Chains A and B, each alone.
Chain A
Amino acid sequence: SAFTSGVSLESSPNTMEHIKCPILQEIMKWNGWGYVDSKFQFNKKGQAEFTGKRYRLSGMVMPALKEWFESTFGASLQHKTPAIPNSSAVQPPILNEAFVEDLKSTGIPFSQDAEDRVFRAHGHCLHEIFALREGKVGRVPDMVVWPSNHNDVVKIVELACKHNVCLIPYGGGTSVSSALECPPEETRTIVSVDTSQMNRILWIDEKNLTAHVEAGIVGQELERLLNESGYCTGHEPDSMEFSSLGGWVATRASGMKKNIYGNIEDLVVHIRMVTPQGVIEKSCQGPRMSTGPDIHHFILGSEGTLGVVTEVTMKIRPMPEYQKYGSVVFPNFEQGVACLREVLTLITNVFAGHALKPQKFYITKFKGFDPNRLCVATLLFEGDRERVLQHEKQVYDIAAKFGGLAAGEDNGQRGYMLTFVIAYLRDLGMDYYVIGESFETSVPWDRVLDICRNVKERIIRECKERGVQFPPLSTCRVTQTYDAGACVYFYFAFNYRGLSDPVHVYEQVEHAARDEILANGGSLSHHHGVGKLRKEWMRETVSRVGMGMLKSVKDYVDPGNIFGNRNLL
């Protein structure tokens, strides 16, 4: 463990037994992505390997990675920047004694332990992780509280209102929008409401194909439990191992199989949220209602500014009978994009998902294609066997029209698996002077190529202007497709040797890249959300009146700013 060993919930030992699950920070890294036991590292021979047993990649040695890493970034195994193993000074908690007293009487477990607090004070933005690796900790929550059901949350919110305490809901902690950062100017007691104990499926309704689930459940657990009953939600964001249902609702999440199953807003039938004004929910579970603006849409994307999502009724589907991966290599990105557009207009239902990425390191050479320009699409088909095979053929036929060649199931599956481990790669980079991040946007089809070119170029140019000594990695992929456009991810990383304030440089470049995205008709965010990182662009994104609407909702629902994480507005 990163802090003083051992965990003590010093406030009231008698609440210890309420904690049902293992202490998160014992299995999760406190200053990096994912599980403590899983990480990329260079072994004694200088070969890259992935540790642990959790992933298909675990225990494997990847000789090509070192070469890719060194040639892409100009990085060297000689130049290390290891993380500081523990953090020094965490500010002592600001405690509202009256609140603590009242909370004790409810019997809901809580903690003021430094480690618990630091763990819930951040998401996974580069600057957050970078600071932690340097042992720097800013304002952190003063307490963590673990409600175990809806009623606990009601009690916590009531007490917070009574004692004017600031609440910050915490789900899986995978935010990449500075949403979990505590506002440094907050002088009240900040309480992190960790929903991780609210992780049960309360019921499954097979007649209506819905499941009622507590919002603290994390994605992989939800799928595992539903799979036991023969069902799935089909919602698979890249972070699904760690991110929670409540977090999905609060950020308007999107998954890689959304073409079949839909995004979170399509998947929810009913939401229950506890706000300072009371509980908000609909009176029935009708599949669609014409009752004025959909109140779900005040909740979806509210980013913890209005209340805590406690329970959600979600659509479920029988597990697919048949699943097949696939991949296509295109001579260039332009052809790949054109193909995806075409596939989308012709085929729906079975084509679960795909990702289109130029120059990935797992396919570098292919049948006479220019290795600098080739581009790979990974594909996943789900459904009944016959239709899957039929549509698979259809997709490959279309791909052929665009010069695409089938590159096999393995490459497809590898591509999908990589989406889960890619976040671990950043930690490896950070050990060797390489920092980076991905960010996303959504954009109409006719602008996809333009935005990709311009943003990539802008990144390269900004790096140069800001004194980055090595050429940056600046690449992108199309991860989601819609009738009217696509979601584009940008990957940006660079070797920061020679820079005195690399994070600042990184932030300036990302800022410029976001300006470029907006200037090219891209959105502020497709599914990462706004948080505090992208707040400054909200007004121009939703108009002054739009901002006013959102503000007035906030003012009504939470006049005392109890949910004071200051995201979004």
Chain B
Amino acid sequence: MASEAVYSHRDPMLKKRDDFEDILEERRNCSDLRYALKCYTPVVYKGLTPCKAGVLKNMVLQSDQLHYVINQVSKETGKAPEDVQEEASAILEEMAHRMQLSTVRFFAFTLCKVFKTLFRSICVNEEGIQRLQQAIQEHPVVLLPSHRSYMDFLLMSYILFTYDLALPVIAAGMDFMGMKIVGEMLRMSGAFFIRRSFGGDKLYWAVFSEYVKTILKNGLAPVEFFLEGTRSRTAKSLTPKLGLLNIVMDPFLKGEVFDINVVPVSISYERILEETLYARELLGVPKPKESTSGLFKARRVLSEDYGSIHVYFGQPVSVRSLAEGRVNRCQFNLTPRHIPKRPSDDVHSFVNAAAYRLVRAQEENMVLKPWVLLASLLLQNHHQDLDQDRAAGPERGMGLDELTEEALWLRDVCRQYGAFLHWPDHVPPSEVVSSSLDLHRGLVRISEGRVRLAVEHAGPSGPGVHPGAGPEEQLLNQAVVVLSCASYRNQALHVFLRPALLASAMHIATSSNKQEVFNSFSFLRNMFSNEFILCPGATMQDFEEACFLLVKTGVLQITEQEVLSTHRGHRTLAFLTRMMDPFLQGYQVICMFLCEEASEALTEKTFIPAVRGFMVKQLLSGRLRYTEVLSSDLQKNALAALLRLGAVLKTKGADQTTLKVNRVMVNSLEDTLGGKLPTQKAAVARL
């Protein structure tokens, strides 16, 4: 298979990671102005003669690639080539960055002030910086930061400026351009703007890809973009988008450069600026359009404490070594390289596998704060309270001691799974817990020594109905808190994912037979491969990794034939299954909706609102526990999975795309998710 997984499951506890330095510390002690005006002389790619933005534009406009497409477009549309050339030039004008050191210095100065107000520290692994510096001199560099906040790319440039590294050219979404002045300023600090969708526009694609390749091939600047395409509102890593990755790998595959270094960067926020914003967005309150004035309204944000940021520059990955033995570069020998071509199957699967590998590299180096564990525990507790109908009683929530004890237990599990956990071991645990809770006080209530999510319960059985707010509105308000909290739990999902899938698989499998458990595992993995980062084609490896971890920690015993849980493993298994439950239930409800409620006229556009309506009803009637399922992210992922599995089909109509439901299949998926049906081999094979 073309995309064998790229991992070996050595013991994750042995992972070595660099130490961090706080770059704000120095800023707190000396002049910001002097810092912003410091001498800036970054090292550059070997033999590079820096070139002006105008020269770059000319290189792009005069490239064979662009000429070819201009002629093609001119022939197809009947427009004069000069006119098409004009269009190309205009596209480039709209797109191109105009990096100016003065603007960068301005940002450096302003950001200093802002960062110092917002954050306690910005920690960077300096060894990673050194590796990056080396990489920049050797080969063209692509920077791939994780994307959780608007802050990300300003932060990146700020850090690189601080360390006297070459400033990147950054692919940014066009929506920023809406912010007039800020948009232009971002452009002058190295951002270039791309339209969100330009599917069929050949000329746009040609200008865009040639622009990026020209910068990269000549090593003019590191190219930075977000593999996830957009900010993850859930703090889970998003399925990587391949477009830009394809473009930046192309010069290597075609032999135009010897190699390209790709550097995954993991940016972890202790508290995300956009926390509640994201939750609302996921619940269907539309995202406010980016506007300069909107940004200033966010000034309230400035008065709060957002903890610390950890930025980890990962090991540079050589595209050449990634491609070794996976792509036959001879395939480019038979057509001139300037003629655009769709990536062949092997290139596509290579880029896809590489993308997953890189996202996983980002995940691995995400720093987890104690709060992430607390959020996971509090969420589970919240649902248990609901289950046991004590959501409003005095025994709801967790005692502080109990929470601390559980957190310590989870901390150890986490470490055994190789998580990059920053738990201050020299501080008494109770203090760690209380300071974490304090930082996130908007999400928790502490009363009488008990902690719970800051959720006031409605519902048919709950007595605490607030007058004035309808039950649906209350439900949504609760969901905001739950989703915010879930976004912290999600930060740790990648650590638990494989063991959790195995735990759930054991739960839904009809026996402890190893093959059956594997079939269930494989079914779940397949079902959730739009939801989580699961490398294509690595089912066996993931299964083995999960087994390895659970056996190592004494949770499971695995024989030739059977997968058995041990007595002391119960606690871990219960925790892991509960972690997966909201997702399982979410997918089940969506299946239920499609079987019971979906009308013939269901379209792609109406899917989300319709599902949401159905879920709200279910939640209010108490048939459904997890308010998390209201997340549009989960709903979209589930639909993508069902489409991928062929349980739902798209039919393109005149003006809309309708969804056709294969009820038999959806029904059987629902039952399998609920453990009612064994995962048949045939079904697995088909999936």
Interface positions of A (Cβ within 8 A of B): 446-447, 450-451, 453-454, 457-458, 518-521, 540
Contact = CB atoms under 8 A, between A and B. Distances in A.
Nearest to B139: A457
Interface in B295-345: 328-330, 332-333, 336-337
Contacts of B473: none
Interface in B605-619: none
B332 A521 contact: yes
B258 A521 contact: no
B256 A450 contact: yes
A458 B257 CA distance: 12
A518 B337 contact: no
Contacts of B442: none
B333 to A, nearest CB: 4
Contacts of A520: 255, 329
A540 B331 CA distance: 11
A278 B332 CA distance: 43
Given A446-B336, A446-B337, A519 B329 contact: yes
Contacts of B333: 521
B258 A458 contact: yes
Nearest to A373: B47
A454 B255 contact: yes
Contacts of A453: 258
Given A446-B336, A446-B337, A540 B330 contact: yes
Contacts of B337: 446-447
Interface in B438-490: none
A457 B255 contact: no
Nearest to B47: A373
23 contacts: A446-B336, A446-B337, A447-B255, A447-B337, A450-B255, A450-B256, A453-B258, A454-B255, A454-B258, A457-B258, A458-B258, A518-B330, A519-B255, A519-B328, A519-B329, A519-B330, A520-B255, A520-B329, A521-B255, A521-B330, A521-B332, A521-B333, A540-B330
Interface magnitude class on chain B: 10 to 19
Given A447-B337, A453-B258, 9 more contacts: A446-B336, A446-B337, A447-B255, A450-B255, A458-B258, A518-B330, A521-B330, A521-B332, A521-B333
Interface in B323-375: 328-330, 332-333, 336-337
Contacts of B332: 521
A389 to B, nearest CB: 37
Interface string B635-650: 0000000000000000
Given A446-B336, A446-B337, A521-B332, A451 B258 contact: no
Nearest to B336: A446
Contacts of A454: 255, 258
Interface string B216-253: 00000000000000000000000000000000000000
A126 B333 CA distance: 30
A307 B329 CA distance: 37
Contacts of A458: 258
Closest 3 CB pairs of A and B: A519-B329, A520-B255, A521-B333
Given A446-B336, A446-B337, A451 B330 contact: no
Contacts, number: 24
Q: For B256, B258, B332, B337, which residue has the most chain A Cβ atoms within 10 angstroms?
A: B258
A447 B336 CA distance: 10
A453 B337 CA distance: 17
A101 to B, nearest CB: 52
Contacts of B330: 518-519, 521, 540
Contacts of B255: 447, 450-451, 454, 519-521
Contacts of B336: 446
Label chain A's interface by main secondary structure. helix
A466 to B, nearest CB: 16
Contacts of A446: 336-337
Contacts of A540: 330
Contacts of A450: 255-256
Nearest to A450: B255
A457 B252 CA distance: 13
B655 to A, nearest CB: 46
Contacts of B256: 450
A518 B328 CA distance: 10
B256 to A, nearest CB: 6
Nearest to B255: A520
B74 to A, nearest CB: 23
Contacts of B258: 453-454, 457-458
Nearest to A540: B330
A396 to B, nearest CB: 28
A518 B331 CA distance: 10
A458 B258 CA distance: 8
A520 B256 CA distance: 9
A454 B319 CA distance: 14
Nearest to A451: B255
A486 to B, nearest CB: 15
A31 B130 CA distance: 50
A451 B330 CA distance: 13
A452 to B, nearest CB: 11
A336 to B, nearest CB: 17
Nearest to A447: B255
A521 B336 CA distance: 10
Contacts of B328: 519
Contacts of A457: 258
Contacts of A451: 255
A446 B328 CA distance: 20
Nearest to A456: B258
A446 B336 CA distance: 8
B556 to A, nearest CB: 41
A334 B330 CA distance: 24
A374 to B, nearest CB: 15
Contacts of B329: 519-520
A518 B255 CA distance: 11
B219 to A, nearest CB: 13
A457 B139 CA distance: 11
A450 B333 CA distance: 13
A446 B255 CA distance: 11
Contacts of A447: 255, 337
Contacts of A521: 255, 330, 332-333
Interface in B251-287: 255-256, 258
A458 B332 CA distance: 19
A323 to B, nearest CB: 38
A446 B330 CA distance: 15
Interface in B22-71: none
A451 to B, nearest CB: 7
B498 to A, nearest CB: 33
B152 to A, nearest CB: 33
Nearest to B258: A457
Nearest to B324: A515
B5 to A, nearest CB: 24
A94 B682 CA distance: 63
Q: For A451, A454, A518, A519, which residue has the most chain B Cβ atoms within 10 angstroms?
A: A519
A453 B218 CA distance: 13
A569 to B, nearest CB: 21
Nearest to B254: A450
Interface in B86-111: none
A521 B253 CA distance: 11
A359 to B, nearest CB: 15
A453 B328 CA distance: 19
Nearest to B333: A521
B38 to A, nearest CB: 32
A519 B337 CA distance: 13
A521 B258 CA distance: 14
Contacts of A518: 330
A518 to B, nearest CB: 6
A521 B331 CA distance: 9
A450 B259 CA distance: 12
A457 B255 CA distance: 12
A183 B330 CA distance: 31
A341 to B, nearest CB: 14
B336 to A, nearest CB: 7
